[in-house]
């Protein structure tokens, strides 16, 4: 059963009532069909009202939904023959990032993504999807392997951010992220990045320097969490809702700003309501993107990627 978010409550209550009436009709033989039809129409209206006008803060909540599909969920539905690879060959294997080789409609590709857990136990082993340097270095190792064997790279982004810990700093969290940014710019294969949950700052960017950046409709991508921004800017983390509005972190906003290339629609109510359908639409976008990128030469791919990031920024000249 899905965990419901507070703004979904009126709809959930209505749906529960419909269910109850149906049960009554079945079990007690009292005919509530007319009432059910009336309420179903009402529920449909209400759903359109709620999900058709999601506020940035509501999207933040959906992006963090405990049942939000993870990288491994999408890998299972979009690709075949996934073979997971482990370790950065320098320090360890960071389970908050998964990666390996898989087939996309038959073509071998390298797939990498942040991995959040499904329950508390898994979340602890995966550090809630927050990577240490070895996670980014594993990702880089797999990307260079892809580059060597001429495989396109697909990344899935879903992290609160890089892990803020003592060991992470000691092992060079900054350098690990920075190195990925530089090396990804140099890859001579197509790179498509899909932000499908939380795109948290440098920890998200570290596997997101692609030719195309896609975002699921209810994902967020931000320089700092809304809570963090509120704490820093207004010294009050409860103003996170306000920060979410001001900071332009939703897919529609980032599409407008030219930061992302495509917004992938989600099923009504969010990706977790229909992971199969969601996977299908991601797959279609990936195939379309690769069709455009695959004919490009290594140099063209690098140039396209460079120019894409180079043009981000707004300024004026002193008059």
| 205 scored as a contact of another protein (CB under 8 A) | yes
Number of residues written out for the chain: 319
Q: Alpha carbon 186 to chain centroid distance?
A: 24
| 196 scored as a contact of another protein (CB under 8 A) | no
Check if the beta carbon of residue 99 is closer than 8 Å to that of residue 138. Answer: yes
Q: Select from 166, 276, 295, 299 the one that contacts another protein (CB under 8 A).
A: 166
| 233 scored as a contact of another protein (CB under 8 A) | yes
Q: Alpha carbon 24 to chain centroid distance?
A: 41
Q: Which is nearer to another protein, 28 or 316 (CB)?
A: 316
Q: How far is the CB of 302 from another protein (least distance, A)?
A: 8
Q: How far is the CB of 248 from another protein (least distance, A)?
A: 5
Q: Which is nearer to another protein, 105 or 170 (CB)?
A: 170
Buried b (16+ CB within 10 A) or exposed e, 202-230: bbbbbbbbbbbbbbbbbbbbbebbbbbbb
Stretch that binds another protein, among 38-46, 141-149, 252-260, 288-296 (CB under 8 A): 252-260
138's tokens: 């594993």
Q: What is the DSSP string of 245-262?
A: HHTT-BHHHHHHTTS-SE
Restricted to residues 289-308, the positions that interact with another protein (CB under 8 A) are 305-306
Among 111, 114, 75, residue whose Cα is nearest residue 94? 114
Q: Select from 41, 185, 287, 294 the one that contacts another protein (CB under 8 A).
A: 185
Residues that bind another protein (CB under 8 A): 162-166, 168-175, 177-179, 181-183, 185-186, 201-202, 205-206, 208-209, 221-224, 229, 232-233, 246-249, 254, 257, 259, 305-306, 309-310, 312-318
């Amino acid at each position: 059963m899905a965990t419901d978010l507070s703004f979904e409550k009126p709809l959930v209550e209505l749906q529960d009532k419909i269910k109850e009436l149906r049960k009554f009709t079945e079990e007690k033989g009292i005919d509530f069909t007319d009432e059910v039809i009336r309420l179903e129409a009402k529920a449909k209206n209400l759903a359109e009202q709620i999900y058709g006008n999601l506020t940035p803060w509501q999207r933040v909540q959906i992006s963090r939904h405990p049942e939000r599909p993870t990288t491994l969920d999408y890998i299972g539905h979009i690709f075949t023959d996934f073979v997971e690879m482990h370790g950065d060959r320098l320090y360890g294997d960071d389970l908050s990032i998964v990666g390996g080789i898989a087939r996309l409609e038959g073509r071998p590709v390298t797939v990498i993504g942040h991995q959040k857990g499904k329950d508390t136990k898994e979340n602890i082993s995966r550090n809630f999807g927050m990577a240490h340097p070895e996670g980014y270095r594993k990702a880089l190792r797999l990307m260079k392997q892809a580059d060597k064997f001429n495989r396109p790279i697909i990344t899935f982004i879903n992290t609160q951010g890089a892990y803020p810990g003592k060991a992470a700093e000691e092992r060079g969290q900054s350098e690990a992220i920075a190195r990925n940014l530089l090396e990804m710019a140099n890859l001579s294969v197509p790179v498509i990045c899909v932000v499908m949950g939380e795109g948290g700052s440098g920890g998200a960017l570290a596997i997101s320097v692609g030719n195309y950046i896609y975002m699921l409709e209810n994902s967020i991508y931000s320089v700092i969490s809304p809570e963090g921004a509120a704490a820093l800017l207004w010294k009050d983390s409860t103003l996170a809702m306000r920060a979410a509005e001001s900071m332009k972190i939703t897919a529609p906003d980032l599409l407008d700003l030219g930061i992302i290339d495509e917004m992938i629609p989600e099923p009504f109510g969010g990706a977790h309501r229909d992971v199969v359908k969601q996977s299908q639409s991601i797959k279609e976008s990936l195939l379309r993107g690769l069709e455009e990128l695959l004919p490009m030469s290594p140099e063209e791919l690098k140039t396209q990627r460079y120019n894409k990031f180079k043009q981000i920024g707004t300024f004026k000249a002193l008059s």
